[in-house]
Amino acid sequence: MTREEIIQSENLVMAKPRLMNDTTMHYCPGCSHGVVHKLIAEIIEEMGLEEKTIGVCPVGCAVFAYRYLDIDWQEAAHGRAPAVATACKRLWNDRLVFTYQGDGDLACIGACETIHALNRGEKITVIFINNAIYGMTGGQMAPTTLVGMKTSTCPYGRDPELHGYPLNITELATHLEGTAYVTRQSVHNVMAIRKAKAAIKKAFTNSMNGIGSNLVEIVSTCSTGWKKSPVEANKWMEDNMFKFYQIGDLKDVRR
C-alpha cells in the first residue's frame, strides 16, 4: 500500500473523544484551546465522569468551551469562575468541578477570586491558559505579558517602570496553604501534550478525592495576537515564555 493510499480518509482512525461534538471550532490556527479541550474530554471519559462533571467558563476566548464539550457548563461573569465553581462543588460535592480560564480573566479581573479560592483549598481544579495577552479583545497587555513584549496597549514593549512586572500567579499559588497540586505545562508538541494530559488527570483525581485546590497552567501561544504564524509563535514561546514560565510541577502535596 502506498503512502497516498494509507492516508485516505477511510483508512484513518478518528480519535475524537465522545464528549467532543461536531461543532466546527472557531479558534485561530495554532491555538492551544482545541488541544486542551480534547485532553479534558479524554480524561473525563477515562475517569467515567461524563454525567458528573461541571465546567465553569467566564469571558475571553475560553468562553466558548461549552460549544465543543458536551458536559454540564455554568457561565460566570468575567473573572468570577473560581467563585462559581466553589458554589457548585459545595452544593454537589460528588461532582468534578473545574474552571477554564485565560490569563487576563484569571490573573487580572479574577485575581481576587482565584487567589482566595485556591487559598481556601476548595476541591476544584483551575485550568489556566496563559498566552501572555488578551487574545479575544484586541491583543492588549495582560498581567502575564513579558517584559519587552509588544502588545496593542504597549506597542514599544512592556516597560517595568511604566507597566510593572509580569505576574507569575502560578508561582504565587504554590505559597497558598490550600493548594495541593500546582503545575505548569504546555501542548506545543506530542511529548508536552502527554505530560499536560497526565497533569490535568492528576488534578481532576485530587479534586474528586477531596485533596485541596489544584491549578494547571498551560503556557500557550496566540498567533493572531502575537502577529506570528503558528510555527513562529511556537518557536517564540519556547525561546521566551519558557524562560520566565518554566515548565513542570511546582507543588505536589498529598493530604
DSSP 165-216: ----HHHHHTTSTTEEEEEEEE-SSHHHHHHHHHHHHHHHHHHHTT--EEEE
Instruction: Assess if residue 11 is contained within a domain.
Output: no
In a domain, 167, yes or no: yes
Asked if the structure places residue 39 within a domain, the reply is yes
Is 13 domain-assigned? no
pTM over 0.85? The answer is yes
pLDDT value, residue 13: 53
pLDDT(10) > 60? no
For residue 119, the enclosing domain spans 18-252
Task: Give dist(CA 171, CA 184) in Å, integer.
Answer: 9
pLDDT more than 90, % of the chain: 81
- The rounded distance, in Å, linking the Cα atoms of 223 and 231 is 9
* Domain assignment present for 2: no
Q: Is residue 40 part of a domain?
A: yes
CATH of the domain at 42: 3.40.50.970
Is the residue at 214 inside a domain?
Answer: yes
The 10s digit of each residue's pLDDT in 63-74 is 888 999 999 999
pLDDT band at 135 (very low <50, low <70, confident <90, very high): confident
- Structural domain count, the chain: 1
